[in-house]
Amino acid sequence: MSTVRVAITQHEPGWFDLQASVAKTIALIAEAAAGGADLIAFPECWIPGYPLWIWKYPVRPDLAARYHKAALSVSSPEFQSILAAAAASSITVVLGFAERAGSTLYMSQAIISATGTLLLSRRKVKPTHMERTIFGDAQGGDTTLTNCVETNGKAGRVAALNCWEHLQPLLKYHSIAQGPQVHVAAWPPITPVKEGELYSLSKEGCKALSQVYAMESQSFVLHTGSVITALGVAANQTEGAPMMSTPSGGSSCVFGPDGRPIEASSKALADDEEGMVYADLDLDAILVSKGFCDPVGHYSRPDLLRLVVDKGTKACVESFEGESK
């Protein structure tokens, strides 16, 4: 039996504060390793917190500017300190962060090995609805479609997608084709469904998407979301908003490769409670599910249906030299 112990975070971010966010990230990495975890998973835009205000205000240039300053660059000393923390604790890290690249922000995820190597960094293909007021689209290439990697550790092949990317059938199929054993489904703070709201935006709907992905991919899915307290509501100025305006948001849990909820070895958490969800995963269980359904193997018909992918990066400026005459 091949067993991996995972830690799924359910914590409040360091709103608009890069240094506080990184410090908390490093502390949680050490805590997960001390708890025996081989892998730790963080939610969408964990650093510097998901921008809650976008669901209340059509435009808030002041908050957007503050958020931009607090975003994380992959080439920054702060990012290097997270790599060092992973190495110091010998733990694989799947990090969700708002990435600053030049003057544009992206909704990004990084997979970091237990030796502190950046294995991949990828960007959300298409920010959802109001997210497009502050985040850019991914530009293709390795920073977009490569979302699964061999970690060369106990965690095996690890993949990650953000939020409603779990509603994108073609993207999901491309991810499944990369053969993940453990998949991190990273979400923002999500709350129970209310009258008049989209069920697919609710805690129940989003957890259902993660659960279905586990069945579709025959992988263990680590569903992770962050917490909002009164501090987060005040920082984002979302008082009275229809979404993300009350203390709540946490929904972290694990689904097995047949979709069943995996019982955590840690205590159950309320949706407004910070804590770590630990679970021990028997990777051999994947083989049982794959024996019944492998949608990119024996349970596929590529002669009838197949996915065509453009792996090229779409740059704003491309240079070339003309032919000599």
Catalytic machinery residues? 44, 124, 163
Listed in sequence order, the residues at least 6 apart from 86 whose beta carbon sits closer than 8 Å to its beta carbon are: 29, 92, 93, 112, 113, 114, 115, 116
Residue 33 phi, psi dihedral angles, 5° rounding: -65, -40
Tokens of 220: 């263990």
Name residues whose C-beta falls within 8 Å of residue 181's C-beta, 6 or more positions apart in sequence. Answer: 155, 156, 157, 158, 219, 220, 283, 286
H-helix or E-strand spanning residue 187: strand 182-187
First to last CA, the chain: 66
Q: How far is the C-alpha of 280 from the C-alpha of 25, rounded, in Å?
A: 22
Tokens 């544009």 belong to 104
Question: Whose CA is closest to 46, among 94, 113, 89?
Answer: 94
93: β partners: 40, 112
State the DSSP code for 18: H
Token code pair at residue 180: 């993940």
